[in-house]
Amino acid sequence: MVLLSSAVFSLVLGMANPLTLVTSVPVQTWAPEVGDSFFVDTKANMGYLVHTDGVYTEFPVVTGKKAFVHYIGRGYRAETPSRNWVAKSLHFKGDRMTFGAANPKEYKDIDGAFLRLYVDGVENSPYGIHPTRNSARMFAETDRYESMGCVIVSDAMMRVILQTWRLNGEQLTVVTRHGFESKEIAKL
């Protein structure tokens, strides 16, 4: 059992009490539900899709480089920020190396998909969730700090995240934190 005793989790999910994650479900058997949220631990580079009843699945993610970068005409620190977001819009990007599916023949429906994140559900940001053509190399890295700030997921998880987003009225609550610093995570 995992106990997430965070005011952040509780507030984001609209709960008065801490959320207890009672059951871990393998990614292969996960089924999206209304009310699901997506949490990203940028310290461990793990993603968690969580049902409102505490059932969850976990999977590896890639997050922002711990470096200053020059990308898309601007210079910035690429580390994925710790924020509360809402994924509100889906775009299909032409740059298939950056935003393309690793296996575009099998995952044609998500090839180029970019799910844009809005700060606190209001402010449009350059950050998003997407697959990438180079995911095999990125996921093979030990720490997986390889993106320009976005959350990169596998082709299969992008499909699941998009299903979740659609099921929830084309909105998905997303929380990114470095180590869930305000929470205590204990695994039995």
Residue 180, by phi and psi: left (phi above 0), alpha (psi -120 to 50) or beta? Answer: left
57 within some domain: yes
186 within some domain: no
185 within some domain: no
Which range (128-137, 146-155, 177-186) has the least confidence?
177-186
Q: What is the pLDDT of residues 115-150, one digit of tens each?
A: 999 999 999 999 999 999 988 999 998 889 989 899
111 within some domain: yes
Q: What angle do CA 34, 116, 109 make, to 5 degrees?
A: 75
Q: What is the pLDDT of residues 50-108, one digit of tens each?
A: 998 888 899 999 999 988 888 778 888 889 999 999 999 999 987 777 888 999 999 99
**Domain extent for 53:** 2-177
What count of other Cβ atoms lies within 10 Å of the Cβ of residue 114? 21
pLDDT for residue 17 is more than 90: no
Distances (CA, A) of 31 to 10, 56, 57, 89: 22, 10, 10, 22
| CATH at 102 | 2.40.440.10
Q: Where are the alpha helices (DSSP H) in 47-188?
A: 96-99, 135-140, 155-167
Q: What are phi and psi of 79, to 5 degrees?
A: -55, 130
98 within some domain: yes
Q: What is the pLDDT of residues 157-171, one digit of tens each?
A: 999 999 999 999 999
Distance CA 108, CA 129 (A): 17
184 within some domain: no
Count of domains observed in the chain: 1
188 within some domain: no
187 within some domain: no
Identify the pLDDT of residue 21.
56
Both structure tokens of 110: 């998500």
